[in-house]
Chains A and B, each alone.
Chain A
Amino acid sequence: MSAHEEQRLSAWLDGELDEGARAAVEAHLARCAECRETLAALRAVDPAARELGVRAPEGYFDGFAARVRERIEAEAAVRRPASWRPPTWTWAVAAALLLAVVTPLTLHRGETVLPARTAPPAPTRPLATPALPAAVPATASPTRPQSAGEAPSPRSTAGRLEAPAPRQRLMKTAPAAAAPAAAPTASIRQHSEQAAANDGRLSALEGAAVAPQRDASRQEGRAAVSIEAADAMTAQEVRLAPATAAEAGGGVRAADVESAFRQLDHLRPVDVASWRRLRERWRAFAAAHPAAPQADEARVRVIASGLELVRLGAGAEDAATFRRDAESYLAREDAPQKPRIRSMLEEAASPR
């Protein structure tokens, strides 16, 4: 049998063989009646299968789209508390505001400030570090018009751990934000809110089908990574964040914590093992940042991951962990999402 081409006939039918293999199969077919028979039989399979219809219960599709919509709305309602956290773009806006204030001042003193992107930073000028959003709002510098393309991109800072030191320095030298940058701020907010609202939480699968290069600045190549790789990245983030926070000031810490939060938020486990890993990462996050604004949501995510494991029928141990986590949340004073947890407990108790 090994002399025959059976194995490759199916791929030949699909036009999925490379040139050499195709030629070999065709040469074999030309002199082998047995394989021609097999080919004919294989070729009939797909069209025959397409004759099998799909039958759904009467009226099933009438309300389908509305049910999907309800689920989306329910999910948005549940997620809303988390989305009120000050998001990462706050830092881009703060930096832009700061530059708007500082740049005119320095220009006024007769100095020249070059944007970080077009000139090497002067060592004496800590503000022009590459870690900063490399832009100055147009209103800040009439002598050096900026194109719209140079507006600070909140996406470029979102979800990434950046060197905290320059930003911290920035915060110290800029006491207050000023009016000139109001317009750019508004546009940044609009942009960022859309980004936050659509916050991609792609599984490797979904990522495989999209075009990550469409917005290369965002989560560089993230859409294409496997969930395992994403998990690894997240583990690193969780480990890094507390250390960074310890050596930096409060403001920087908030950005890094947010970054770590978003990394976890992006993960979409596909099986029991990865749900368990995610649950424990949320637990580690909540333990590492007990006072962060995200901590409450992280505690809820521990429980939500637990519920997912219950749904997947992971086992008695996971079910017990889920109940324990839920009960300890309900026992907390600082737990604004108790109704959400109660409904999770109800869901876990009700048979599906």
Chain B
Amino acid sequence: MGPADRAPRDPARPPAPDEGFLLARARQGDLSAFEQVVGRYQRRVYGTALRIVRCHDVADDVAQEAFLRAWRSLDRFDTTRPFGPWVCRIAANLALNHVRSPRTREEALPEEQAEPRSEAPGPLEALLDDEGRRVLDAALGELPVEQRAVFVLRAFEELSYAEIAAALGLQPGTVMSRLFRARERLARALGPYLGLHARRPRGGVA
């Protein structure tokens, strides 16, 4: 028995039927085909970047650069694999490097995210109210960026520890401990807002 609340990763996000076709065309230099691929993944890649860097201008830069690098490396990409996780990994790495770079350490990044998201999933299933989201978002912003990058790749991209380790140049053990510390801090912040949810195990051990 194992964790029950996580769907198998690949079937959860099957590549669109003609993604392989578009990528094959793009590989032959067809920029219009690549543009279509970019259109499909722009929100996801931008989201990955924004969640790590927490500043629109930087996320924009990182997202564009991620696609640019994907384009340059397209001939080495295995088109039978999904494109999204690959380009998100590139974006996460760029985002992390950006936040770590000396300049951005000097200039504190503007916090543009400390507001509840209006596009959040349906209210019926929502775990958190607006206040809870605001608190969780603030807690995410306060995580060390190394922990945040690992958490974003796991929670939003659902990458395996090995994939996260490869994307960020870490040991899998480091991924494991950073993820634990991130979740521990976030759980502490979330505690008061979850009510019964936090005490209702949904799988495995009860």
Contacts and interface: CB of A to CB of B under 8 A. Distances in A.
Interface of A: 6-16, 22, 26, 29-30, 36-57, 60-61, 64-69, 71-73, 75, 194-195, 197-212, 214-215, 223, 226, 268, 270-272, 312-315
B56 to A, nearest CB: 6
A271 B102 CA distance: 10
B62 interface: no
Contacts of B198: 40-41, 44
A7 B184 CA distance: 9
A204 B201 contact: no
Given A45-B187, A54-B119, A68-B35, 14 more contacts: A11-B180, A13-B5, A30-B205, A42-B184, A50-B121, A51-B117, A52-B117, A54-B47, A68-B68, A195-B75, A201-B73, A205-B89, A206-B90, A208-B166
Nearest to B75: A198
A120 to B, nearest CB: 35
Contacts of A36: 201, 205-206
A200 B75 contact: yes
Contact of B127 (A40, A44, A202, A208): A44
Nearest to B102: A313
B38 A205 contact: no
Nearest to B41: A65
B120 A51 contact: yes
12 contacts: A10-B184, A44-B187, A45-B186, A48-B194, A51-B127, A60-B56, A68-B64, A197-B29, A202-B73, A209-B77, A270-B93, A271-B101
A51 B126 contact: yes
Interface residues on B, range: 35 or more
B59 to A, nearest CB: 8
A203 B97 CA distance: 13
Nearest to B190: A48
A318 to B, nearest CB: 11
A203 B200 CA distance: 44
Contacts of A204: 169
Residue among A8, A42, A50, A54 with most chain B CB within 10 A: A54
Interface of B: 1-3, 5-6, 27-29, 31, 34-36, 38-39, 42-43, 46-47, 50-51, 56, 60, 63-64, 67-78, 81, 85-86, 89-90, 93, 97, 100-104, 106, 113, 115, 117-121, 126-128, 132-133, 136-137, 140, 151, 154-156, 160-161, 166-167, 169, 172, 176-177, 179-180, 183-184, 186-188, 190-191, 194, 197-202, 204-206
Top 9 closest pairs, chain A to chain B, by CB: A313-B103, A53-B117, A198-B75, A53-B119, A208-B166, A10-B180, A65-B38, A211-B78, A41-B187
Contacts of B27: 198
B190 to A, nearest CB: 6
A285 to B, nearest CB: 21
Contact of B133 (A9, A51, A57, A198): A51
A92 to B, nearest CB: 18
Contacts, number: 243
Contacts of B50: 54, 56
Given A42-B187, A211-B78, A270-B97, A55 B118 contact: yes
B176 A314 contact: no
B205 A208 contact: no
Contacts of B47: 54
A13 B103 CA distance: 37
A53 B118 contact: yes
A39 B206 CA distance: 10
Contact of B197 (A42, A44, A214, A270): A44
Contacts of B201: 36, 39-40, 43
Contact of B76 (A41, A205, A207): A207
B76 A48 contact: no
Given A57-B56, A201-B72, A313-B102, A37 B199 contact: yes
Given A52-B140, A61-B42, A72 B34 contact: yes
A66 B2 contact: no
Contacts of A49: 136, 140, 151, 155-156, 186
Contacts of A315: 102
B3 A203 contact: no
Contacts of B154: 14, 46
Nearest to B92: A205
B205 A43 contact: no
A206 B87 CA distance: 9
A39 B205 contact: yes
B175 to A, nearest CB: 9
Given A44-B197, A49-B136, A205-B167, A312 B155 contact: no
Nearest to B172: A16
